[in-house]
C-alpha cells in the first residue's frame, strides 16, 4: 500500500506540456528562418552535424528528469507491513440505482450525479465507520465490499454508471438480498442500508423483503432524487447526445420520481424517506443519524510503517538530467558511420 505525502506538487507537471509547445514553436521558427537563407541541400553541406533527432532526445531526457523530480517532491510512501487495529463505528451500505431513468436531467446535472454527490458527502463526514456500495438496475452488482477505506469508496463511486449493469430495470429486491451478505453477523455493529433512487419500476414485494432485512437488524433509509414532473431520458453515443429514449409508439419517454414507493420501503423497515433534490438535506440528516448511533468495536487491518521512497525518484531524475547535459545537439560521429537508414548512400 502506498500514500502520497504532498500530492499538490503534481501541479508542477504542467510545465511539461508547456515546454513541449515552446520546443515545437522554436523548432518551427528555426526551420522557417533557415529556409529564408538556404535550401535543404546547401544547409546539409553547411551544417552536416545538425540533428533534429538529438534535440528531441535531449528534450525527452530533460522532461523525464523534471517528471521524476516532481514525483520525488510528492514523496510516495510505501506501507511495509500490515497491522490489526481496533475501531469503533457502524456498517453502512449504499444501494445506488443506476438504471437509465437516473440519467434524466430534471435535476442538475442529472439524477445519478446528484445521488453520487450525496453519497460522497456522507462518506466524507464519516469517522471510522465501514462503508460498502451496491449498484443495481435490472440486476444488482457489488461495486465495493464493506471497508474502512473511504478514499477507495469515493473512487469506486465515481465509476458507477448504467453500463456496469448487464440489464436494465430496477431490481431493488436483488439489491436488498445482496446487502445481507455485506454485514458480518458475528460483529454486533449497527447496520444501515441507504437506498438512493428515483423510485421507478420497483417491485410490489419490495416492502416484504425490506421488512425481512429489518428483522435481521438492518435500518433502512431511502433517498429520492428527481422531480414528480419528471423529464426525458437522454441517449448518448460515445459521449455525444443523439436524442431521447422513446417508447414503442415513437413517443418520448418521461420518467418521474415515485416518492411513494421509497416511502413505503422506509416505513416497512422502520426507517425514513428523505428528499434528495437538495444535496445538503440528506447529507445532514444521515450524518446526524450515524453520529448519534451506538458504535461497536471491530477489528480491521491496515498498512503501517510507511517509508519515504522519494530518494529513488530523485536519483532517476538526476540521472536523466545528467544524460541531458552530456547529450549534444550535433550528430554522434559513430552513429553517422552506422548509417542505419542508408541516408549517405541515397545522397550519392
Per-residue pLDDT at 127: 84
Instruction: Give 38 or 7, the one with higher predicted confidence.
Output: 7
Residue 21 banded pLDDT, cuts 50, 70, 90: very high
Q: What is the pLDDT of residues 199-239, one digit of tens each?
A: 876 666 777 888 888 888 889 999 999 999 999 999 888 77
Per-residue pLDDT at 334: 46
Per-residue pLDDT at 329: 59
Per-residue pLDDT at 248: 85
Residue 324 banded pLDDT, cuts 50, 70, 90: confident
Domains of the chain in start order, with CATH, are 2-75+309-347 (no CATH), 89-301 (3.40.50.410)
Asked if the bond preceding 109 is cis, omega within 30° of 0, the reply is yes
Per-residue pLDDT at 299: 61
Q: Which among 55, 141, 26, 144 has a CA at the least distance from the CA of 328? A: 55
- 85-98: average pLDDT: 85
Per-residue pLDDT at 261: 84
CA–CA dist 293, 342 (Å, integer):
78
Backbone dihedral angles phi then psi of residue 220, each to the nearest 5 degrees:
-110, 130
Neighbours of 82 (CB within 10 A): 11
C-alpha cell of residue 40: 535543404
Average pLDDT of the chain, as a whole number: 82
For the chain, the helix, strand and coil percentages under 3-state DSSP, each to the nearest 5: 45, 25, 30
Residue 257 banded pLDDT, cuts 50, 70, 90: very high
Task: Flag the least confident range among 6-15, 20-29, 61-70, 201-210.
Answer: 201-210
Q: Which among 95, 93, 182 has a CA at the least distance from the CA of 137? A: 95
Q: Which among 204, 320, 220, 316 has a CA at the least distance from the CA of 266? A: 220
Query: Which DSSP string corresponds to 199-258?
Result: -TT--TTHHHHHHHHHHTTEEEEEEE-S-SS-EE-EEEETTEEEEE-B-TTSPBPEE---
Of all residues in the chain, the percent with pLDDT exceeding 90 is 38
Q: Which H or E run contains 84?
A: strand 76-89
Give ∠ CA 101-149-182 in degrees, rounded to 5. 60
Give ∠ CA 269-270-275 in degrees, rounded to 5. 90
Spatial CB neighbours of 285, under 8 Å, sequence gap ≥ 6: 272, 274
Instruction: Give 268 or 43, the one with higher predicted confidence.
Output: 268
Q: Is the pLDDT of residue 259 over 70?
A: yes
Residue 340 banded pLDDT, cuts 50, 70, 90: very low
Cβ atoms of 296 and 187 within 8 Å: the answer is: yes
C-alpha cell of residue 238: 460515445
pTM: 0.64
Q: What is the pLDDT of residues 262-310, one digit of tens each?
A: 898 898 888 999 999 999 999 999 999 998 887 766 666 555 566 778 8
Q: What is the pLDDT of residues 105-141, one digit of tens each?
A: 999 999 999 999 999 999 999 988 889 999 998 888 9
Cβ atoms of 264 and 207 within 8 Å: the answer is: yes
Amino acid at each position: 500500500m502506498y500514500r502520497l505525502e504532498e500530492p499538490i506538487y503534481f501541479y508542477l507537471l504542467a510545465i511539461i506540456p508547456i515546454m513541449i509547445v515552446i520546443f515545437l514553436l522554436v523548432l518551427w521558427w528555426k526551420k522557417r528562418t533557415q529556409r529564408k537563407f538556404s535550401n535543404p541541400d546547401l544547409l546539409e553541406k553547411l551544417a552536416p552535424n545538425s540533428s533534429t533527432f538529438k534535440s528531441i532526445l535531449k528534450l525527452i531526457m530533460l522532461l523525464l528528469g523534471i517528471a521524476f523530480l516532481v514525483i520525488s517532491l510528492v514523496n510516495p510512501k510505501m506501507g511495509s507491513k500490515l497491522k490489526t487495529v481496533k475501531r469503533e463505528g457502524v456498517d453502512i451500505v449504499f444501494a445506488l440505482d443506476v438504471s437509465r431513468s437516473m440519467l434524466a436531467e430534471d435535476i442538475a446535472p442529472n439524477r445519478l450525479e446528484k445521488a453520487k454527490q450525496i453519497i460522497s458527502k456522507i462518506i466524507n463526514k464519516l469517522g471510522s465507520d465501514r462503508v460498502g456500495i451496491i449498484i443495481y438496475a435490472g440486476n444488482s452488482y457489488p461495486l465495493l465490499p464493506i471497508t474502512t477505506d473511504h478514499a477507495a469508496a469515493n473512487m469506486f463511486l465515481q465509476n458507477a454508471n448504467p453500463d456496469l449493469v448487464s440489464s436494465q430495470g430496477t431490481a431493488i429486491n436483488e439489491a436488498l438480498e445482496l446487502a445481507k451478505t455485506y454485514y458480518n453477523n458475528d460483529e454486533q455493529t449497527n447496520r444501515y442500508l441507504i437506498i438512493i433512487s428515483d423510485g421507478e419500476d420497483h417491485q410490489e414485494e419490495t416492502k416484504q423483503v425490506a421488512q425481512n432485512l429489518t428483522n435481521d437488524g438492518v435500518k433502512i433509509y431511502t433517498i429520492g432524487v428527481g422531480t414528480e414532473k419528471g423529464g426525458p431520458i437522454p441517449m448518448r453515443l460515445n459521449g455525444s447526445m443523439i436524442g431521447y429514449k422513446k417508447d414503442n409508439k415513437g413517443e418520448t419517454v418521461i420518467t418521474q420520481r415515485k416518492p411513494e414507493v421509497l416511502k413505503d420501503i422506509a416505513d416497512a423497515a422502520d426507517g425514513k424517506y428523505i428528499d434528495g433534490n437538495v444535496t445538503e438535506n440528506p447529507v445532514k440528516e444521515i450524518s446526524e443519524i450515524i453520529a448519534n448511533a451506538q458504535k461497536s468495536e471491530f477489528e480491521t487491518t491496515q498498512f503501517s510503517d510507511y517509508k519515504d521512497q522519494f530518494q529513488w525518484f530523485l536519483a532517476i531524475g538526476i540521472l536523466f538530467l545528467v544524460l541531458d547535459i552530456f547529450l549534444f545537439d550535433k550528430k554522434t560521429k559513430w552513429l553517422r558511420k552506422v548509417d542505419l537508414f542508408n541516408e549517405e548512400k541515397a545522397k550519392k
